[in-house]
Amino acid sequence: MDDYKIPQHVAIILDGNGRWAKKRHLPRNFGHKAGADNLERVIEDAWNLGIKYLTVYAFSTENWKRSVEEVKGIMTILRDFLKKSIAKSKKNNMKVRIIGDRTRLDEDIIKSIEDLEEASKDNTGIVFCVALNYGGRDEITRAMRSIAADVKEGRLSTEDITEDLISGRLDTAGMPDPDLLIRTSGEIRISNYLPWQIAYSEFYFCDTLWPDFDKEELVKAIDYYNGRDRRFGGVK
Ligand code: FPP
């Protein structure tokens, strides 16, 4: 009997947009645009494969250190992506959720995020979660502050602080932890991405640059998760 498992929750660190552009002698933001277009395709692939939650690292708390021009370019791509996502969420029954500290984002982006979350909140298809101005340590710090405030005000006692309580205070509250974490483009690190949630996840690293990461690559990652080494008819 085939016991091939599809991971319920896949988290991806989208990396390699800059190198994809550089290889083509294009400005970095062309790579980000290609990366955002690819993300639209991969969401559909993920859903068609039976993945229920997809969480992607689109912009970290550290990404503000990039040049003003690059950050501006990414925000333009993000605006466009959020706008398109309203129609897509309706068409594909997709629920969208944004994690990270949104307070530092521009007001119109915050508004788009709120509209998108509200419009898609009752959808029952894939849960697509985007990490924006996200940092795992920042997320844990914000959660700790909210717990400390409750203890100080007497709403919680120290004994009430359990792993489940902490999980419920994170931005990902209510979502299962990722089963599989993928990072593209050859870097072997987690870069402050979901450090609490990936405690038991399987890690898959590949050399493919994010804009080139397609359904076949996603299937390879799931094969790896299943402990498989399919040779696609060849011999390794
Ligand atoms: C990773 O490649 C890309 C980012 C950190 C930022 C932007 C991500 C996107 C545009 C994809 C989806 C977007 C949105 C806005 C929903 P890199 O620049 O670190 O690549 P490099 O390591 O090759 O320089």
In 3-state terms, what secondary structure has residue 19?
A: helix
> Distance of alpha carbon 15 from its chain centroid, rounded?
12
Q: What is 20-32 written as a DSSP string? A: HHHHTT--HHHHH
Give me the phi and psi of 65, to 5 degrees please.
-75, -10
Ligand 1 centroid from CA 58, angstroms: 6
Q: Which of 13, 15, 62 to mutate to test the pocket of ligand 1 (most atoms within 8 A of CB)?
A: 15
User: Does residue 134 have its Cβ closer than 6 Å to ligand 1?
Assistant: no
Q: What whole-number distance in Å separates Cα of residue 104 and Cα of residue 35?
A: 23
Ligand 1 centre to CA of 83 (Å) is: 19
| Best residue among 20, 55, 59, 130 to mutate for probing ligand 1, ranked by most atoms within 8 Å of CB | 59
Ligand 1 neighbourhood includes 130 CB (under 6 angstroms)? yes
pLDDT of residue 1: 47
Record the tokens describing residue 89, joined without a space: 């969420």
Query: Is 63 in the active site?
Result: yes
Distance, CA of 56 to CA of 118 (rounded, Å): 20
C-alpha closest to that of 158 among 173, 170, 148: 148
Position 228 scores a pLDDT of: 79
Walk along the chain (236 residues) and give the pLDDT tens digit of each residue.
478 999 999 999 999 999 999 999 999 999 999 999 999 999 999 999 999 999 999 999 999 999 999 999 999 999 999 999 999 999 999 999 999 999 999 999 999 999 999 999 999 999 999 999 999 999 999 999 999 999 999 999 999 999 999 999 999 999 999 999 999 999 999 999 999 999 999 999 999 999 999 999 999 999 999 997 766 566 65
